[in-house]
Amino acid sequence: MQYFNHHTHTIFCDGNAEPEEYVKKALELNFHTLGFSGHAPVPFENKFSIKDEKLEEYTDTVRRLKDKYSAQINIFLSLEIDYIPGITHSFDYFIDRALLDYTIGGVHLVKNRDNNKLWFIDGSDSSVYDNGLKTLFDGNIRKAVETYWWQITEMVATQKLDIIAHIDKIGMHNRDRYFIEEEGWYKDNVWKVLKMIKETGSIIEVNTRGLYKGRSNKTFPSPFLLEQIHHLQIPITLSSDAHKPEELDGYFDDTLEMLKDIGFLELLYFRKEGWKKQNIRE
């Protein structure tokens, strides 16, 4: 199957190669589509996002590549936008400012609504997750995880969101230590969000990064959630969340087989006139 990827990070944020290196690799891999989705600027000090003053340079660079390679591959401009209520800009702000082709929304920082402190749930170091849970949420895993899902729900309900990034990232550092996804309260939170997504029409990405980085033994969403997503017939796309060109198709073959086993028939990919379906069984 001819692959594609809408979720990639370059040296403009926390990726480690120039955008053009990703284009060259995508051509080598015979991709039909490549989307750039640097982390959108956030209004606080951090090491992962595009700096606000670098945003125009990022968008100009992607647009130049789009023109330069237009005969060979479809290149699109996006941002992976963090959603932290009361802190981050709206998705509309970035759509208007950067003229994005599509948006990817994600939650990497969970805001404790009692003290406004932020719990970082991503990254390679699980002690950051453990310490945040202890100090920001008094070790109350259910409260912390329900706050995460509340934030996802708010994002889905209020933002112009095309693709939802790694929807159950909250489980990455958990590794079944604090909760398991089969627990009733967890399933209730997930189900509520999925039903809302079904209404709003956002696309759920199947993100393979945890697998090829060895941080997770499952995709985001997990196969357990994907069964429910399939049951609700919510559209999906496949992305690797690449931070290096060689990660562009990381674990795609295995994940595609898993998706077929669950019963999925197609993946969505972007075109200027709208999202298109690609049959995965041909």
The residue ranges that bind Zn ion (CB under 5 A) are 80, 106, 165, 241
CB of 7 to Zn ion, least distance (A): 6
Q: In the complex, what is the shortest distance from the CB of residue 229 to Zn ion, in angstroms, rounded to a whole number?
A: 18
- Rounded CA separation 52/143 (Å): 33
d(CA 227, CA 223): 6
Nearest C-alpha neighbor of 38 from the set 84, 98, 86: 98
Q: How far is the CB of 261 from Zn ion (least distance, A)?
A: 26
What's at 240, amino acid-wise?
S
Neighbouring CB atoms inside 10 A of 223's CB total 14
Nearer to Zn ion, 126 or 140 (CB): 126
User: With respect to Zn ion, which residue has the nearer C-beta, 106 or 250?
Assistant: 106
Amino acid at 174: N
CB of 141 to Zn ion, least distance (A): 21
Segments in the chain forming alpha helices (H): 19-28, 55-68, 91-98, 126-137, 141-158, 184-200, 209-212, 223-231, 252-262
User: 132-153: b or e for each residue (b if 16 or more CB lie within 10 Å)?
Assistant: bbeebbeeeeeebbbbbbbbbe
CB 44 within 8 A of CB 52: no
Tokens for 248, please give them: 């562009």
> Which is nearer to Zn ion, 14 or 18 (by Cβ)?
14
Q: How far apart are CA 183 and CA 242, in angstroms?
A: 31
> In terms of CB distance, is 34 or 165 closer to Zn ion?
165
Q: Which is nearer to Zn ion, 14 or 140 (CB)?
A: 14
Minimum Å distance from CB 116 to Zn ion?
A: 22
Nearest distance in Å: CB 108, Zn ion: 6
Query: Is the CB of 72 or the CB of 85 nearer to Zn ion?
Result: 85
